[in-house]
Structure 1
Amino acid sequence: MIGYARVSSDDQDLTIQIEKLRAAGAERIFAEKRSGTSLTGRTEFEALMAFVRDGDEVITTRIDRCARSMADFQKIIEAWTEKGVRYRAVEQAGVALDGSAHTKLFMNLLMAFAEFETRLRRERQLDGIIAKKAADKSKPQHERTYRGRPTTIDAGRVRHMRDVEKLGASEIARRLGIGRASVYRLLGDAGGDSHGGAAS
């Protein structure tokens, strides 16, 4: 029996999940702090998938520890089914990969709810960001509390602003809403507020 524990961020604790998996009989546990919205970058889960063999049973505390989307979960279940691996969520009675149509339907319903919950949380976060930005608009720049996550800025755009528009790093940073250090990083410059410097 192999356990898998996952939380989404570094400030969350895996202890409770691990204890429950051990109590359920897990002989080996793979654990990590990674978002479940994608299978990419989840190194411990990838290791688990490579480790399991025919006759093994994978357990998690809940179904959403495996994935947060229906498509990803179905890929996982198909891979385990092909390998002859069983699956069970120890905190959710009735969630077990046993080949029955009833169980498969039940698991898909639970995963649909997990996916809905993820989307709802994102919408709430977006609503909060919009509200925060609206509240900050009336304040002077130096008094604004919302900074948010910087958007991806193309280095070519920054070089154009420096080389063609002849703007210094401070003005580029002000216009793009980023720090001067970010400007230098995008340009590959060592520092300074001049128009010159390495452009690549």
Structure 2
Amino acid sequence: MSRKSERNLAIYGYSRVSTSNQDYKTQIFKLEDAGADKIFSEKYTGTKKEGRKELEELLSIVEKGDLVLVTKIDRLARSIVDLNGIISKLNSSGVTITFLDNSLTFEPNKNDSMQTLMMNMLGSFAQFERDLIVTRTQEGKQWHRANQKNYKEGRPKRVLNDHYKLALELMETHSMRDVEKKMKISLSTLNRIKKQAAEEKVLKVVND
């Protein structure tokens, strides 16, 4: 008996958020409610699938007859080229993909011109919306630069709270990797707070 005939068809879910302030709860609830047995979740801000480890793992394990669920098109891809590429890869492997909120399903060996049209339209609208956000952000920065004398571009400094201060103390005797695991703080954040603490120490000496 082949492995395929022994294996039950699987239903996978995929969720993604693009900022650290977002969470997957709503997406995961919808995916579970729709029958997802295993859900791959990740935080990723890029526009391409490269570097999205959870998505890459999902694409590597799906088999013919499986179903992949995603809440919305823009959770799977942020460009039409990538969207078409991922859907084509799944369909060519015999895998069906459904976008729950968009009420769209793409099945293997089924050419539905209306669904293809909808996919491209929705992908276009998603990209248009992102372009608008970028444009508004740039316009906002230009206004602040022109109207606020002390305006500084970039993210504001973090407040060195007790959690960060403990991480700073641990970095004196432990490797940053160890502190990252112990304190659940990313290496990039550890580098930022380390630099910030050093800057604040210098300012304190100067002001004193």
The TM-score with structure 2 as length reference comes to 0.65
Tell me how large the CA RMSD over aligned residues is.
1.7
1:36 deviates by 5.0
Task: Give 1:134 deviation, angstroms.
Answer: 1.5
Give the whole-Å Cα distance in 1 for the aligned partners of 2:147 and 2:53.
Answer: 40
**CA–CA separation in structure 2 for the residues paired with 1:112 and 1:121:** 14
The answer as to 2:24 corresponding to 1:18 is no
CA distance in 2, matches of 1:67, 1:26: 19
Note the C-alpha offset of 1:24: 0.3
Residues 56-114 of structure 1 deviation map (CA, whole Å, 9 limit, x = unaligned): 11111111111111111011111112111101011122x11032222111111111111
Indicate the SS of the match to 2:105: coil
Q: Distance in 2 between matches of 1:24 and 1:147?
A: 43
Number of residue pairs matched? Answer: 144
Larger CA Rg, structure 1 vs 2: 1
Partner of 1:158: none
Query: Is the aligned partner of 1:129 residue 2:151?
Result: no
Task: Indicate how the Cα distance of structure 1 residues 58 and 36 shifts in structure 2: closer, same or farther if over 3 A, else same.
Answer: farther
1:84 and 2:97 matched: no
Give the Cα separation in 1 of the matches to 2:101 and 2:87: 18
Q: Structure 2 CA distance, aligned partners of 1:80 and 1:131?
A: 45
Deviation at 1:32, TM superposition (A): 0.7
Please, which of 56, 71, 82 is the counterpart of residue 61 of structure 1?
Answer: 71
The aligned residue for residue 96 of structure 1 is 105
* CA offset digits 1:34-63 (Å, max 9, x no partner): 125222321111111112111111111111
Describe the superposition over 1:138-175 as per-residue Cα deviations: whole angstroms up to 9, x where unpaired: x3xxxx232327xxxxxxxxxxxxxxxxxxxxxxxxxx
Q: Which runs of 5+ in 1 are unaligned?
A: 150-180, 182-200
Letter of the aligned partner of 1:21 in structure 2?
Answer: L
| Structure with greater helix percent | 2
SS, match of residue 106 in structure 2: coil
Structure 1 length as normaliser, TM-score?
0.67
Distance in structure 2 (CA, Å) of the matches to 1:77 and 1:134:
45
1:40 to 38, 41, 50: 50
Tell me, which stretches of 5 or more residues in structure 2 are unaligned? 1-10, 156-194, 196-208
Distance 1:147 1:122 in 2: 15
